[in-house]
Amino acid sequence: MHKRLIVTILISAGPAVGGHAQEPVARCQSCQLRLHVEAEKATYEVGEPIVISIRLTNVGTTPVQIEHTSDVTGRHDGYRFEVYDEDARRFPDPGKSASSLLSSLGTPVSVAPGTDDSRRLTLNYQVAPLKPGRYSLRGLFDSSYPQSGVHAESNRIAISIEPTPAESIRRRVDSLLENIAVDPRHVAPYLGFTGDIAAIPPLVDLLYHKDDGVQASALDALLYLDRAAVEGALLDALRTRGPRERMVQFLGVTLTTQNAVIRPLLIQGLRSGDGDARMGAVEGLRLSNSGSDSELFAPLAAALRDPVAGVRQNAAVAVGEYQNEQALAALTPLVDDPDITVSEQTTIAIGWIAQSAAVGSDTRVTAIDVLRRAAKSARTAVADQARKWLADIGVQ
């Protein structure tokens, strides 16, 4: 069986992970499936992992093709859960906007007639931290790969969350922290599942980990915690420890932190002696710069001369988005940057400028000349990008 890399998950019944909508897929009439879910126990403490056993049975007469992926949430495989409180209010799924699980490796699996496909999934990935009370839930299965329109709905089950002393929740946090240095990617989400603000500081610490996957896992865990407390902790870290790319993306996009609050801290980050902080500062300023603020052009253009290639690459994107003659002049020298990623990104940015400039304008003519020179580059990636943009704007 072959494996494939899944970049996004598309579920016919609603928005995909990351919020991208998909047209409904006609359900497979010949795919007769029965979905059964069962909790491992009836009562849980606040913040305790809730493991759900799933059994997907083919009750039809033909094999059904489904997929197993490395995504631990079950979303990529088509599983989702609906959880309701005693007043029939449905609980939200904070993890739908998670970034660390947007890709996974998958393997097609055939479920023969009369056989089962069994899984164990942790409910907490798909529901906001539950407070004491009684809840009902059901599972749904919607899959469009490798066989489209495969669907099943489960039985409903009930679980209870018992009143849990704050000390017990803190002990859970402390127990997780004992293993965080060994396996931070795995521990991070479970810290989020506790719903306890004591989990925020160690998760913020993980944003300064060198492993980008660890950073992504920590930010996804913060989705399950109090937004105001998370925003305050991130702003404090931004102020005292400097920005990181994923951090500023989370603040600007997920939390929609006001520019007036975050920009001064990002400008401060541009002066940091830490290259990662400067990379984050440039990215944050770019995200906050939807109107191409003229006051930000100079500091962003100055970042094009940064000794760290990653800073120059981010700056090439930020400056390129101005799409004017001033941006073209600042970017042109970086087409020959010694770092191939910077050179390639700069070529793309100049392509944006050429495409957006008025036909016959000096800016367009100059940008096309730069692209023509880049198309002769000995570096294949740069030459390919230049030729692509020349073709897109109809120039030989």
Specify if 288 maps to a domain: no
In this structure, how many other beta carbons lie within 10 angstroms of the beta carbon of residue 7? 10
Question: Contact 287/318 with Cβ under 8 angstroms?
Answer: no
Q: Nearest CA to 350 among 362, 339, 334, 338?
A: 334
**Which region among 28-32, 104-108, 327-331, 357-361 has the lowest average model confidence (pLDDT)?**
28-32
Q: Is 28 part of a structural domain of the chain?
A: yes
Residue 321 within any structural domain of the chain = no
Is position 74 within any domain? yes
Residue 190 lies in a domain: no
Cα(309)–Cα(284) distance, integer angstroms: 17
> In the listed set 102, 130, 162, which residue is the last one of a domain according to the structure?
162
Three-point CA angle 151, 152, 153, nearest 5°: 135
Last residue of a domain, one of 162, 181, 213: 162
Instruction: Give the chain's mean pLDDT.
Output: 92
Task: Note the pLDDT tens digit of each residue in 284-315.
Answer: 999 999 778 999 999 999 999 999 999 999 99
Cβ(270)–Cβ(240) under 8 Å?
A: no
If one counts every other C-beta atom within 10 angstroms of the C-beta of residue 133, the result is 13
As given in the structure block, the two tokens for residue 92 are: 């939200």
Range of the domain at 350: 326-396
The Cα 152–Cα 250 span in angstroms is 34
pTM (predicted TM-score): 0.87
Helices 275-287 and 294-302, axial angle in degrees (round to 10): 150
216 within domain boundaries: no
pLDDT band at 102 (very low <50, low <70, confident <90, very high): low
pLDDT single digits (tens) 267-291: 999 999 999 999 999 999 999 997 7
CA dihedral defined by 66, 72, 75, 76, rounded to 10 degrees? -50
- The CATH number given to whatever domain includes residue 149 is 2.60.40.3880
Closest by CA to 44, choosing from 133, 104, 108, 125, is 133
Inside any domain, residue 111? yes
Cβ neighbourhood burial of 9 (10 Å; 0-12, 13-18, 19+): buried
Full strand arrangement of the beta sheet holding 104-111: 4-6, 104-111, 64-69
Q: Is the peptide bond before 49 cis (omega within 30 degrees of 0)?
A: no
If one counts the domains in the chain, the total is: 2
| Cα 257 from Cα 290, distance rounded (Å) | 14
Structural domain ending residue among the three candidates 106, 141, 162:
162
Give the pLDDT confidence of 47-95 residue by residue, as tens digits: 999 999 999 999 999 999 999 999 999 999 999 999 999 999 999 999 9
Better-scored residue on pLDDT, 17 or 387:
387
174: pLDDT strictly greater than 80: yes
In a domain, 153, yes or no: yes
